[in-house]
Chain A
Amino acid sequence: MEVRLEGLTKQFTETIAVDNVSVTFESGKLIGLLGPSGCGKSTTLFMISGLLKPTKGKIYFGNDDVTNLAPEKRGIGLVFQNYALYPHMTVQQNIMFPLENLKLSRQEALERTKEMATLVGINELLDRKPAQLSGGQQQRVAIARALVKKPRVLLLDEPLSNLDARLRLQTREEIRRIQRETGITTIFVTHDQEEAMSISDKIIVMSKGLVQQEGIPQVVYNKPINLFVSKFLGNPPINTFDGKISNGKIIIGDIELGKTNCNDQNVVIGIRPEDFKVAEDGFEVSITDLSRIGRDTTVYFNLNGIETRALINSEEVSTVNKIKLKVKREKIHLFNPEAGDCINE
């Protein structure tokens, strides 16, 4: 089921949480709504679920306008950030609860519950209470409860934020698997760019209630549309420098990085740490610190007064404190210093 938002706006008394958002969530895809806290991503999700009413704009599920439809009539499954499992019911009762409101025979309901429990892998936990489960198991129960009605769209609000680091890795693969197996359109909200990049078919980056950029994760990562997106994606974060273009050359301080067709102007230059390469014809920097983690080494150096990080293959770094680096032209991102927009050639 394709979900389409048209000019969706949510205004709370003082602030505009979501500002004229128009995006399409393609059918059968796993789509990540990504942004820092307070960017309006959860508000958007709750408007899609119907728990919040939009101030303006339309929501379409396929061809149906669901903007004024009550949540239960939209055919959605919603997984809350803290799972909202009913503490007084067993796992089985929790999963069966949405079915009790449908016209279903008990036998059929039980079968569906079993089916969902098998899908998320909690078959042996059906008689336990939520308090007796680990965070990851609770998460699975919540997903099973959301899926048991066979909804058209699955919505997940910060699905991994309550889990520890190891479980988070495991669970996000799990979410990916469940989504693949059921083929359900899934929208999930997260503030963790790594999480979104690793499992999404598409990411939508939001900030201050506006959609900044949408697309396939790797494309958004490689071609950030503005300074915010470039800074928000990537860990360790992108290095940014105040530089300029003069005579078709990209210049930071007194270092020339490459050539461009752009007009002469001041620019913000963004270079991701992994895009530095060791090269004999590069510019020379003096290393202030080194941290070697297996295959990669993070090199810290000062470039035109900015503390800079570069990720370099460990074999190419000796203990010398001077190193020659180079950046490929297509890896240098140029942004307008005022608007923050990417400067295209």
Chain B
Amino acid sequence: MNKFSTFKTKFNDLRWRMRNYKNDVKSLITNFFDKIYIGRIFKLNFFKGMLYLSPALILILIFTLYPIINSLLMAFYENYTPVDGMIDGFTLDNFKSVLKPGFLVAIKNTALIVFVSVPISVIISLFISVMLNSVKFLKSFFQTIFFLPYVTNTIAIGLVFSLMFDFDYGLINSILEFVGNTFVGDFFDLFGVTISPLHWKDSQATYATAMTTLLIYTIWGSLAFKIMVFTAGLQNIDKQYYDAAKVDGTSKWRIFTKITVPLLSPMIAYITITSFIGAFKSYTTVVALFGETGRTAGSVDLRTIVFYIYGYIMNGNALNPGELSRGAAASLMLFGIILVFTVIQMYVNKKRVHY
């Protein structure tokens, strides 16, 4: 015991001396470099900072910045062959050839997904998280349930949805059939609406039913992350605001609109902007439901903009010169659309968000 404690004291003493020595060396180096100016702006700290950043910077340069610039240029190449990198010059024809009727359908599909699914999913997730926040019993159990879709594979969920929306054995149609045979169905019959099984996504599906299936799937799949963000935001709101509102006899709805939403508005703004961008890029949802063709068996076209871009990339080989350029042109247009909407949103948020 005694031996050990003397050893410990000695060891700590040594450590102390080493630290002193280290500090001496450090201050010596700093003092030395402080006297040297490498230009007026590029002081030593700049190079030091660059050194620490370099691993990330190098990767970003190779895999992000270079491709961005390259695709920007590629959009204007004429007859670009990726194998030998030969081009015939620069042109704007790529943009013209992208703008075919098919691409316009893709823009329409994408726009529907963006402007329907994002607002609905934001509103639904906001309500769910407010309700989750007010339950005490089994709170974390419910939170886990609502977060499950986030950790589940998109394609796997798509398969489940495909089954659920199946015409013959699907759960949705079973429910519709059941409800249609009850008094609810009779009630709707009075207005000329028949509740019966629908062709959601098979060969006889219409654009409306196929798109509805896709939208339901997109909304449901995007709820989880939003709920998590909103729940975290709600927990940061001071309970006293609610107590104060309660003392003043404020109704639940007014508390929600006048206190919760404004105090959560930075989160809502963040979620809306990122979801808009995400929805503009939607691709996997379509593949998960309708396969790689992006069409139903009855050839209802549900392809999105990104679908088109991928199509060009897959076709881009020596036999099809210029396909990659068309893909680049399409992605540049997508970038433009996203940029415009994000700028508009930022502008709106500046007026309506309370930070």
Residues of A in contact with B (beta carbons under 8 Å apart): 49-51, 71-73, 76-78, 80, 82, 84, 86-88, 97-98, 100-102, 145, 149
Contacts and interface: CB of A to CB of B under 8 A. Distances in A.
Given A87-B354, A88-B263, A80 B249 contact: no
Nearest to B262: A88
B247 A51 contact: yes
A118 B249 CA distance: 24
Contact of A80 (B244, B248, B258): B244
A71 B251 contact: no
Interface stretch (B52-60, B87-95, B235-243): B235-243
A102 B243 CA distance: 18
A7 to B, nearest CB: 24
Given A72-B249, A88-B354, A80 B263 contact: no
Interface residues of B, number: 19
Given A86-B259, A88-B263, A88-B354, A72 B246 contact: yes
Nearest to B239: A84
Contact of B247 (A71, A82, A86, A100): A71
Given A77-B247, A78-B243, A84-B243, 15 more contacts: A50-B247, A51-B243, A71-B247, A72-B247, A76-B247, A82-B238, A82-B240, A86-B259, A87-B263, A97-B245, A97-B248, A98-B248, A101-B249, A101-B251, A101-B254
A145 B243 CA distance: 14
A236 to B, nearest CB: 35
B90 to A, nearest CB: 52
- What are the nearest 8 A-B pairs in CB distance? A72-B249, A88-B354, A98-B248, A84-B240, A88-B262, A84-B244, A71-B247, A78-B247
A185 to B, nearest CB: 16
A73 B262 CA distance: 26
A102 B265 CA distance: 27
Given A73-B249, A87-B263, A101-B251, A80 B243 contact: yes
Contact of B248 (A72, A82, A87, A88): A72
B301 to A, nearest CB: 45
A36 B251 CA distance: 36
Contacts of B238: 82, 84
A72 B249 CA distance: 4
Nearest to B248: A98
B175 to A, nearest CB: 40
Contacts of A77: 247
B250 interface: yes
Contacts of B263: 87-88
A149 B262 contact: no
18 contacts: A51-B247, A71-B246, A71-B247, A71-B249, A76-B247, A77-B247, A78-B243, A78-B244, A82-B240, A84-B240, A84-B241, A84-B244, A86-B262, A88-B263, A88-B354, A97-B245, A97-B258, A101-B250
A76 B247 CA distance: 7
Interface string B60-94: 00000000000000000000000000000000000
Nearest to B249: A72
A87 B241 CA distance: 10
A73 B248 CA distance: 9
Contacts of A145: 244
Given A82-B240, A87-B354, A88-B354, A51 B246 contact: yes
Contacts of A80: 240, 243-244
Contacts of B254: 100-101
A149 B248 contact: yes
A77 B254 CA distance: 19
A44 B167 CA distance: 63
Contacts of A100: 254
Nearest to A46: B243
Nearest to B261: A88
A19 to B, nearest CB: 24
A86 B243 CA distance: 12
A114 B247 CA distance: 21
Interface centre among A49, A73, A84, A145 (most CB of B within 10 A): A84
Contact of B241 (A72, A73, A78, A86): A86
Contacts of A76: 247
Contacts of A149: 248
Nearest to B251: A101
A72 B242 CA distance: 12
Contacts of A78: 243-244, 247
Interface string B243-279: 1111111110010001100110100000000000000
Nearest to B353: A88
Nearest to A129: B354
**Residue among A50, A78, A87, A88 facing the most chain B CB atoms (10 A cut-off):** A88
A100 B248 CA distance: 9
Contacts of B240: 80, 82, 84
B169 to A, nearest CB: 51
Contacts of A84: 238, 240-241, 243-244
Given A84-B238, A88-B354, A49 B247 contact: yes
A137 to B, nearest CB: 18
Contacts of A50: 247
Contacts of A86: 241, 258-259, 262
Contacts of B248: 72, 97-98, 101, 149
A71 B243 CA distance: 9
A80 B249 CA distance: 16
